[in-house]
Chain A
Amino acid sequence: MVTVEEIEHVSKLMKINVDDHSEYLEKVQTMISYFDILDSAGVESEEISMPEIPIEQLRNDEHIPFGDKLIEKMNHYKGTFVRAPKM
């Protein structure tokens, strides 16, 4: 069972400012409870298969110049720098 404290903790990790965590409690609990059905799937011994792409099939790791200056499209671009909140 998910608790309000867990939702508070996870939303902080996910960087989402939620005013009232209890607002999300019921639906998130319902969703997570539904996922408990996975316990009866009997897949404990199953291997997880992942697609593999041989490294030689990947494109070359080289810089491809982009036409526009993307930095100028940022919200707080100030001509020579981007303003960001203090760390």
Chain B
Amino acid sequence: MNLKISALEFIEEAKNGNISVEEFVSTTLERINSVDDKLHAFLSVNDNVIEQAHNIDKKIKSGEKVGDCFGMPISIKDNMCIKDTKTTCASKMLENFVAPYDATVISKLKKQDAIFIGKVNMDEFAMGLTTEFSAFGPSKNPWNIEHVPGGSSGGSAVSVSSYECIASLGSDTGGSVRNPASFCSTVGYKPTYGLISRFGLISYANSIEQIGPLTRTVKDTAFMLNLIAGVDPNDNTTVNNNNENYLENIDSGIEGKKIGIITEMVGDGIDPEVMTATKEAISKLEGLGATCEEVSLEMVKYSVAAYYTITATEAGSNLARYDNLRYGYEMPVEGYEFNSYISKARKKFGPEVTRRMIIGGFVPSAGHAGKYFLKAMKVKSKLTKEINEAFKKFDLLIAPTVPILPFKIGEKIDDPVSLFLVDINTVTANLTGKPAISIPFKIVNGLPIGIQLMANSMNDKMLLQAAHALEKSVTLPEVPI
């Protein structure tokens, strides 16, 4: 059984009866059993999937209507609620939390006969970009297990790139889908803000985060987007996409498109290998008929500081709900005063979450808000103006997804600013609400490099067409695990 096929290939084969869904899912579980001890992509594996796959096979054979996923095994980042399933957010605080309802993305995929093969690892409450801040231990990069897989949706990227599932859903607050996609050589998509419902996603920084797919191909991402995008009455920030078909005309190519190279994202601090790969990507796009020229977005220099100020503030508010009464773990209430009980219970948060909550209390507080939070919001506004201006001239913007290669586990964990700067090329899309995609482009010294394309809001379809064109221009080796 070939587990390396794309989602669309799987669907075609399953629909035509060329493969048994049960056999495919069973082989996928064997794969997880054989490699996940090394990789630690999964926090939990769903034991009931074989029966579900068997039933889908029966429906296919009897000619009954089957959902568009045809039993495709998908992994889900462990910050999205699946009813009656543990949703831990990779935190000791939620270690035993069982979700009482489905996130909207989950309901939509269930209706299409997707199989949720397991919940995958992440940085605790999505605060991090390596999965080293997971309370249950880091995931490993399948290209070199001494290196980080990126994050916070690291488990999602590892599970897709190492053939432990066909596709995954992650969440992207500052690059948390695109960064691990780049580090593990998968496609990672952050849609226009509001395109996908966040109902049932455990909140970190609501004003900028989005759920996004990680897949083997751009076409698979377009397929996933068709299934999960659209208005949701349970999320008032969702936008009407008029049932756009993102797969239709995906082969349109990129001829005549104008692409801006963001100078602030290819300057100081970029690894020479990443710079070379970026130049090669630009040449390929020009060879496909696009024109590329430099564009400056001055506020990018301040974007990481603005991003961490805003997200810490929103996280401080969002995490106030973890009082160990509504959510939490077994800790007797007897003998405690109300506040001291909550404060003691919240010691279960890991060190990074605690640090960000302290910052989240500090930067918007009286006496400091003007210096930090309000300035961060002003940078966000000015950056949005700058990028809107750039999109009057350009159809797309390009930069490497991450300015450096995947680094070793533990290498940056004690240097927060060095870790912050890994996000420099990804946070702009979140702060401005624009769609962005990471496309696997090159493997250097056994480590992947991804290229990021960005488009204006609601131009997701054109962005996927461009990404597909770039993807088709490269052939990459298989993951060595």
**Chain A contacts to B: CB under 8 angstroms:** 2, 6-7, 10-18, 24, 27-28, 30-32, 34-35, 37-41, 43-44, 46-49, 51, 53, 57-59, 66, 68, 70, 73-76, 82-87
Q: Give Cα A24–Cα B365 distance, bound, in whole angstroms.
A: 18
> Shortest distance in angstroms between A11's beta carbon and chain B's nearest beta carbon?
6
Is B236's CB under 8 angstroms from A58's CB?
A: yes
Is B309's CB under 8 angstroms from A38's CB?
A: yes
Looking at chain B's contact residues, the main secondary structure is helix
Given A39-B375, A48-B377, check contact A17 B382 (CB 8 Å): no
Would you call B11 an interface residue if the criterion is a C-beta within 8 Å of the partner chain's C-beta atoms? no
Q: In the complex, what residues of A have CB within 8 A of residue B301's CB?
A: 37, 41
Selected interface stretch from B37-45, B170-178, B275-283, B323-331: B323-331
Selected interface stretch from B149-157, B210-218, B340-348, B459-467: B340-348
Would you call B308 an interface residue if the criterion is a C-beta within 8 Å of the partner chain's C-beta atoms? yes
* 8 A Cβ contacts from B315-329 to A: 316, 320, 323-326, 328-329
Q: Mark each residue of chain B from 402 to 426: 1 if its CB lies under 8 Å from any CB of chain A, else 0.
A: 0000000000001011001000000
A16 CB contact (under 8 Å) in B233, B330, B349, B362: B349
Is B347's CB under 8 angstroms from A34's CB?
A: no
Q: In the complex, what residues of B have CB within 8 A of residue A57's CB?
A: 236
> Shortest distance in angstroms between A46's beta carbon and chain B's nearest beta carbon?
4
Q: In the complex, what residues of A have CB within 8 A of residue B438's CB?
A: none
B374 CB contact (under 8 Å) in A16, A27, A48: A48
A43 CB contact (under 8 Å) in B331, B349, B354, B378: B378
Q: In the complex, what residues of A have CB within 8 A of residue B328's CB?
A: 75
A31 CB contact (under 8 Å) in B354, B382, B417: B417
Q: Give Cα A54–Cα B329 distance, bound, in whole angstroms.
A: 40
* Nearest CB in chain A to that of B433: its residue: A51
* Nearest CB in chain A to that of B194: its residue: A51
Q: Number of residue pairs across A and B with beta carbons under 8 Å?
A: 156
Q: Mark each residue of chain B from 383 to 408: 1 if its CB lies under 8 Å from any CB of chain A, else 0.
A: 01000000000000000000000000
List 9 interface pairs A-B (beta carbons < 8 Å), by A numbering.
Answer: A15-B323, A32-B363, A37-B302, A39-B375, A46-B378, A48-B380, A49-B381, A51-B237, A58-B236
Q: In the complex, what residues of B have CB within 8 A of residue A74's CB?
A: 325-326
Q: Give Cα A33–Cα B77 distance, bound, in whole angstroms.
A: 32
Q: Give Cα A30–Cα B420 distance, bound, in whole angstroms.
A: 11
Q: Give Cα A82–Cα B378 distance, bound, in whole angstroms.
A: 44
Q: In the complex, what residues of A have CB within 8 A of residue B98's CB?
A: 73
B333 CB contact (under 8 Å) in A6, A46, A85: A85
Is A10's CB under 8 angstroms from B362's CB?
A: yes
B337 CB contact (under 8 Å) in A6, A58, A66, A85: A85
Would you call B376 an interface residue if the criterion is a C-beta within 8 Å of the partner chain's C-beta atoms? yes
> Shortest distance in angstroms between A37's beta carbon and chain B's nearest beta carbon?
5
Give 8 A-B pairs besides A6-B362, A31-B420, A39-B375 with Cβ atoms closer than 8 angstroms. A16-B354, A17-B343, A31-B359, A35-B305, A35-B308, A48-B377, A59-B234, A86-B337
Given A39-B371, A47-B381, A87-B338, check contact A27 B416 (CB 8 Å): yes
Is B378's CB under 8 angstroms from A41's CB?
A: yes
Q: Give Cα A24–Cα B353 distance, bound, in whole angstroms.
A: 12
Is A10's CB under 8 angstroms from B361's CB?
A: yes
Q: Give Cα A51–Cα B414 distance, bound, in whole angstroms.
A: 36
Is B420's CB under 8 angstroms from A48's CB?
A: no
Q: In the complex, what residues of B have CB within 8 A of residue A13's CB?
A: 361, 365
Is B355's CB under 8 angstroms from A24's CB?
A: yes
Q: In the complex, what residues of B have CB within 8 A of residue A87's CB?
A: 337-338
Is B358's CB under 8 angstroms from A11's CB?
A: yes
* Nearest CB in chain B to that of A69: its residue: B100
Is A70's CB under 8 angstroms from B355's CB?
A: no
* Nearest CB in chain B to that of A37: its residue: B305
Is A17's CB under 8 angstroms from B346's CB?
A: yes
Q: In the complex, what residues of A have CB within 8 A of residue B376's CB?
A: 35, 38
Is A43's CB under 8 angstroms from B333's CB?
A: no
Is B347's CB under 8 angstroms from A17's CB?
A: yes
B343 CB contact (under 8 Å) in A16, A35, A68: A16
Would you call B372 an interface residue if the criterion is a C-beta within 8 Å of the partner chain's C-beta atoms? yes
Is A17's CB under 8 angstroms from B325's CB?
A: no
Is A14's CB under 8 angstroms from B302's CB?
A: no
Is A43's CB under 8 angstroms from B375's CB?
A: yes
Q: Give Cα A86–Cα B339 distance, bound, in whole angstroms.
A: 9
Is A14's CB under 8 angstroms from B360's CB?
A: yes
> Shortest distance in angstroms between A8's beta carbon and chain B's nearest beta carbon?
10
Q: Give Cα A18–Cα B336 distance, bound, in whole angstroms.
A: 17
Q: In the complex, what residues of A have CB within 8 A of residue B384's CB?
A: 49
Would you call B379 an interface residue if the criterion is a C-beta within 8 Å of the partner chain's C-beta atoms? yes
Would you call B195 an interface residue if the criterion is a C-beta within 8 Å of the partner chain's C-beta atoms? no
Is B378's CB under 8 angstroms from A48's CB?
A: yes
Q: Give Cα A40–Cα B417 distance, bound, in whole angstroms.
A: 18
A38 CB contact (under 8 Å) in B237, B323, B338, B371: B371
